[in-house]
């Protein structure tokens, strides 16, 4: 296992609360940087990215969830990528990033629980080799903030974070835009010294 880690920000858009009965409609990924155990080296998150829009896997959807992304289910049913093709393609992309950087890939998200649930389920259901992050190589940015800020998780929303941590990019609910924005949040959190305990 490489001693370095390459962090990859991920964001998804879905048409319901859980995978299986509902569908992941799009996802985006952006490389954040590399940590060698001592030094974090940030990367331009817009430089190495992956984006896919997927065919729905069921007829069910929650209109309010669909409205968040602004994606068109009928258009995706006709033009979206097949989930197996997309999940195999992004697995290959992650593997190539890891190989080129000689680093183990780690997925980062905010909040991790939602995005990871969808991505992991889709990898295990559709990808030939399963998850390129294994079952546990991931980092929750909300928890990272709560730990560094010495605050409760319920007080770890973006609205409660110091202005210097927040990315300059807008949150658009396009999965790639949001993965890039989130990568900047991760970089800011890594550099941030946090608040003292006590």
Condensed to tens digits (0 to 9), the pLDDT of residues 136-161 reads: 999 999 999 999 999 999 999 999 99
Mean pLDDT on 110-122: 97
Q: Which of 55, 14, 6 is nearest to 34 (CA)?
A: 6
Mean pLDDT on 13-27: 97
pLDDT at 45: 97
Catalytic machinery residues: 173
- The secondary structure of 33-52, three-state, reads EEECCCCEEECCCCCCEEEE
Cβ-based neighbour number of residue 164 at 10 Å: 8
Cα separation, 73 vs 164, whole angstroms: 37
pLDDT band at 134 (very low <50, low <70, confident <90, very high): very high
Mean pLDDT for the chain overall: 95
Cβ-based neighbour number of residue 126 at 10 Å: 18
pLDDT band at 171 (very low <50, low <70, confident <90, very high): confident
For residue 197, is pLDDT > 80? no
Beta bridge partners of 10: 29
For residue 1, is pLDDT > 80? no
Q: Which of 10, 9, 13 is nearest to 172 (CA)?
A: 13
For residue 198, is pLDDT > 80? no
For residue 31, is pLDDT > 80? yes
Tens-place pLDDT, residues 39-60: 999 999 999 999 999 999 999 9
Strands 103-109 and 4-14: parallel
φ/ψ of 6, rounded to 5, equals -110, 125
Tens-place pLDDT, residues 69-106: 899 999 999 999 999 999 999 999 999 999 999 999 99
pLDDT band at 3 (very low <50, low <70, confident <90, very high): confident
């Amino acid at each position: 296992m490489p001693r370095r880690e390459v962090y990859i920000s991920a964001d998804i858009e879905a048409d319901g609360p859980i995978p299986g009965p509902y569908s992941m409609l799009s996802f985006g990924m952006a490389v954040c940087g590399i940590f060698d155990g001592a030094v974090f080296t940030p990367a331009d998150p817009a430089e190495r990215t992956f984006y896919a829009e997927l065919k729905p896997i069921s007829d069910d959807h929650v209109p309010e969830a669909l409205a968040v992304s602004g994606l068109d289910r009928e258009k995706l049913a006709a033009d979206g990528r097949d989930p197996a093709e997309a999940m195999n393609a992004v697995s290959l992309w992650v593997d190539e990033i890891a190989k080129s950087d000689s680093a183990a890939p780690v997925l980062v998200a905010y909040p991790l629980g939602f995005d990871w649930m969808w991505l992991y389920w889709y990898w295990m259901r559709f990808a030939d080799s399963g998850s390129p992050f294994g079952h546990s190589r991931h980092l929750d940015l909300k928890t990272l903030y709560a730990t560094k800020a010495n605050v409760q998780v319920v007080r770890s929303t973006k609205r409660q974070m110091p202005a210097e941590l927040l990315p300059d990019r807008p949150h658009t609910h396009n999965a790639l835009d949001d993965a890039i924005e989130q990568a900047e949040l991760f970089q800011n959190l890594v550099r941030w010294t946090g608040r003292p305990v006590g």
